[in-house]
């Protein structure tokens, strides 16, 4: 039972059990608490341009930081919010121009094989697919901001996708703005990063590109759906700010990374954490992780074949290499 369900139905369950115990020795199980009804909400349509995918540049301390400084949320009406979207695009574009270095151009080569397929994958299709995959899809609508009903929560999501250098995983960096309504000048801005589970095929490139990039498009939509779901849950039931920070390890493509963060949720498939910067991070479990109670055992997947590494040098030779490198630095 979730914490929300316990809060919503804990008193009723306790009262039922006490009354049933007074009547019979073996009371019937208390009925499960009704799930908290989800409010209606609107996901704002974005300009229907092709969804942009980049290669992920390994820049420590740069991944989630850029999304947290966009534009002020206070005193922005609907017009101001739309201007804010344009401002965001300009900021991102300017940042990209300054980062359009040899490193970035080289990183983008990882997505070149999917250029034709992605050119036909537009933002509106991405949003429709993502919305259909969210748990709250029954009460969610995709509308232009000006058509959003006054009584519906309003969500604006700005996704950016990147592929890891090993082609094994897809990464979504998304800024999500949540407001009580489209015309409200109050809102919450949240930066979310979602990392897909790594591909298990021997050739991730072939797997992503098969059937006109079907796996690439489906994974992108699933990541966006997860980011929306996490952002909405955290806005309605914020995690305890006093929760301890700890070092958490997770899969990042074919490698492993770690993050100093608060663990907010743990499911059979992933971890949800809040980083020191305040961003939400959704990641797959590390290799060999013990799944939570009640989850099936993690499947055993053969490691992908990698290029053989050269044999290790003798200890004396290795020491000489280290000494030479130190002297050069």
What digits encode the pLDDT tens for the residues 222-251?
999 999 999 998 888 887 878 899 999 999
DSSP-H helix ranges across 260-309:
none
Check whether 260 has a pLDDT greater than 90.
Answer: yes
pLDDT at 123: 97
pLDDT band at 101 (very low <50, low <70, confident <90, very high): confident
Check whether 307 has a pLDDT greater than 70.
Answer: no
Most confident of 27-36, 234-243, 253-262: 253-262
Query: What is the helix, strand, coil percentage profile of the chain, to 5?
Result: 40, 20, 40
Cα 196 to chain centroid distance, Å, stands at 8
Cα(130)–Cα(319) distance, integer angstroms: 53
- Beta strand residue intervals within the chain, DSSP E: 41-44, 53-55, 140-143, 153-163, 170-179, 188-195, 246-252, 255-266, 270-275, 280-284
Per-residue pLDDT tens digits for 122-168: 999 999 999 999 887 778 899 998 899 988 899 999 999 999 999 99
Cα(50)–Cα(97) distance, integer angstroms: 19
Under 8 Å between Cβ of 185 and 76 = yes
Q: Comparing 44 with 76, which gets the higher pLDDT?
A: 44
pLDDT at 141: 92
Nearest 5°: the CA angle 64, 68, 71 is: 150
Check whether 20 has a pLDDT greater than 90.
Answer: no
0.75 surpassed by pTM: no
Share of the chain above pLDDT 90, in %: 50
Average pLDDT rounded to a whole number, residues 106-116: 95
Name which of 3-12, 27-36, 99-108 the model is least confident about: 3-12
Cα(68)–Cα(46) distance, integer angstroms: 20
Cα(277)–Cα(237) distance, integer angstroms: 19
Cα(234)–Cα(189) distance, integer angstroms: 11
Pairing verdict, β 270-275 and 280-284: antiparallel
> Is residue 213 left, alpha or beta, with left meaning phi > 0 and alpha meaning psi from -120 to 50?
left
């Amino acid at each position: 039972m979730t914490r929300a369900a316990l809060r919503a139905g804990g008193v009723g369950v306790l009262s039922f059990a006490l009354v049933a115990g007074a009547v019979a020795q073996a009371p019937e199980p208390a009925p499960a608490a009704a799930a908290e009804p989800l409010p209606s909400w609107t996901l704002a349509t974005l300009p229907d341009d092709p969804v942009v995918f980049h290669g992920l540049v390994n820049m420590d301390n740069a991944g989630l930081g850029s999304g947290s400084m966009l534009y002020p949320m206070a005193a922005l009406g609907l017009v101001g919010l739309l201007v804010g979207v344009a401002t965001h695009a300009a900021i991102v574009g300017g940042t990209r121009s300054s980062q359009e270095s040899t490193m970035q151009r080289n990183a983008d080569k990882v997505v070149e094989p999917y250029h034709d397929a992605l050119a036909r994958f537009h933002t509106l299709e991405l949003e429709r697919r993502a919305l259909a995959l969210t748990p709250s899809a029954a009460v969610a609508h995709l509308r232009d901001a000006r058509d959003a009903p006054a009584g519906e929560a309003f969500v604006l999501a700005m996704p950016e996708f990147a592929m890891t250098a090993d082609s094994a995983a897809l990464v979504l960096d998304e800024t999500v703005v949540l407001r009580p309504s489209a015309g409200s000048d109050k809102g919450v801005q949240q930066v979310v990063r979602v990392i897909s589970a790594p591909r298990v095929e021997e050739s991730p490139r072939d797997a992503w590109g098969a059937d006109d990039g079907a796996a690439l498009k489906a994974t992108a939509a699933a990541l966006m759906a997860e980011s929306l779901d996490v952002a909405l849950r955290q806005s309605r039931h914020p995690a305890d700010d006093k929760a301890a920070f700890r070092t958490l390890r997770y899969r990042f493509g074919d490698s492993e990374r770690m993050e100093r963060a608060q663990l907010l949720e743990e499911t059979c498939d992933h971890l949800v954490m809040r980083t020191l910067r305040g961003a939400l991070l959704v990641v797959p479990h590390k290799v060999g992780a013990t799944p939570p109670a009640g989850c099936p055992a993690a499947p055993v997947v053969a490691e992908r074949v990698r290029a053989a590494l050269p044999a290790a040098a003798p200890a004396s030779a290795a020491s000489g290499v280290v000494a030479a490198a130190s002297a050069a630095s």
